[in-house]
Amino acid sequence: MPFFSIIIPTYNSSAKLKNALESVLCQTFQDFEVLIMDDGSTDDTETVVAGFNDSRIIYEWDTNSGGPARPRNRGIKKALAEWICFLDADDSWTSEKLKICFNLINDSVDFMYHDLQITGQPSSFLRSKVLKGKKLTNPIFKDLLINGNVISNSSVVVRKSILIKIDGIDESINMVASEDYNAWIRISFITNKFFYIPHILGYYTFHSSGISKKDMSLSMYAASKDFLHKLKGNELKQYKALLSYVQGSHLYTLNLLNPAIPKFYKSIKGGIGCIKVKSLFMLASIYLNSKTYR
């Protein structure tokens, strides 16, 4: 039985999937299986996978579901290992990722995650080069609701038994792009044994088209709305401030500066800490760099 089961959902991403698979097969820790759950690809994905000729790779095709949740759930059900790793088809890992995670596993850990280097992103002082996580504070669900999702999907290593207990990833269409966020929140009600590794152990591929077209606040709200009754007073204000910041950032990427400004002001009014600072920074950027406000 393998120690890790690595689940890779994919859809028409054969070239990127090849890079992801190479990063897995080059791991210094080699006790794993790879479950490639194809969500209805019509390209040469199956041929690319077959070219690796490795018995640890399991490939399965199914009709398209419109999001990564169903193929991830298929992988969870098939996984033989106690520990499951998630990896998106267009991301990759450093060669030491599995070894480092293996060495950190103990009875005090049910869920671990780490930082990812962002690749393919246009240079800008506004854009971070790293998807940074952070150590979550108890109660973890409140930290996730108030401060947002700081856990990158392609960094997660989690016990299969935990995923079974939450009945897998929610496959609702309105939650696409935030289904992982929803899963982390639900997991936090089962265990508080979350462990953050403050190191870059992988690479996240930047997608300009996806970011420019999608307002992430919509799927974030869908992923979190069932837990809002757990928040009180200022906590709920902080949650709303987070959503306003996400809405404002989306409008900013579309260069819709006029409607973005009140979103950032709303976020400043209700937010604290980094969300407030980020909103102030975005407002300063608008006023300093837009001719409209000079």
SS3 label, residue 271: coil
Asked if residue 294 has pLDDT above 70, the reply is no
Closest by CA to 148, choosing from 281, 278, 280, is 278
Residue 213: per-residue pLDDT: 61
Q: Could you tell me whether strands 57-62 and 83-86 are parallel, antiparallel, or unpaired per DSSP bridges?
A: unpaired
User: Please, which contacts does 254-263 make with residues 24 or more away whose CB atoms are closer than 8 Å?
Assistant: 254/212, 257/286, 257/290, 257/292, 257/293, 258/292, 260/286, 261/286
SS3 label, residue 231: coil
Closest by CA to 158, choosing from 117, 188, 125, is 188
Residue 118: both structure tokens together: 């962002």
CA gap 285, 126 in Å, rounded: 9
Q: Could you tell me whether strands 32-39 and 57-62 are parallel, antiparallel, or unpaired per DSSP bridges?
A: parallel
Q: Which option is the CATH number for 4-211: 3.90.550.10, 3.20.80.10, 3.40.50.720, 3.90.1150.10? A: 3.90.550.10
Mean pLDDT of 66-92: 97
Cα angle 121-122-125, degrees, rounded to a multiple of 5: 105
Asked if residue 157 has pLDDT above 60, the reply is yes
Q: Is the pTM of this model over 0.85?
A: yes
Asked if residue 170 has pLDDT above 50, the reply is yes
More confident residue, 122 or 57: 57
Mean per-residue pLDDT of the chain: 93
Phi-psi region of 273 (alpha: psi -120 to 50; beta: other; left: phi over 0): left
Q: Could you tell me whether strands 157-159 and 194-205 are parallel, antiparallel, or unpaired per DSSP bridges?
A: unpaired
More confident residue, 211 or 55: 55
Mean pLDDT of 112-117: 98
Mapped to the 3 state alphabet, what secondary structure does 141-200 carry? HHHHHHHCCCCCHHHCEEEHHHHHHCCCCCCCHHHCCCHHHHHHHHHHCCCCCEEEEEEE
Phi-psi region of 145 (alpha: psi -120 to 50; beta: other; left: phi over 0): alpha
Domain-by-domain residue ranges, the chain?
4-211, 232-293
Residue 290: per-residue pLDDT: 65
- In angstroms, the first-to-last Cα distance of the chain is 64
Residue 12, CA distances (Å) to 39, 124, 259 in order:
8, 29, 35
Report pLDDT digits (tens) over 205-221. 986 555 446 899 999 99
Give 172's pLDDT tier (boundaries 50, 70, 90). very high
Residue 209: per-residue pLDDT: 52
Lowest mean pLDDT among 89-103, 119-133, 157-171, 268-282: 119-133
Give 48's pLDDT tier (boundaries 50, 70, 90). very high
Residue 55: per-residue pLDDT: 97
Give 125's pLDDT tier (boundaries 50, 70, 90). very low
Report pLDDT digits (tens) over 218-270. 999 999 999 999 999 999 999 999 999 999 999 998 999 999 999 999 999 98
More confident residue, 26 or 214: 26
Mean pLDDT of 171-192: 97
Closest by CA to 91, choosing from 152, 30, 16, 33, is 16
Asked if residue 160 has pLDDT above 50, the reply is yes
Residue 5: per-residue pLDDT: 98
CA gap 21, 53 in Å, rounded: 12
Give 69's pLDDT tier (boundaries 50, 70, 90). very high
Mean pLDDT of 32-52: 97
Residue 287: per-residue pLDDT: 85
CA gap 200, 183 in Å, rounded: 23
Asked if residue 144 has pLDDT above 80, the reply is yes
Asked if residue 288 has pLDDT above 90, the reply is no
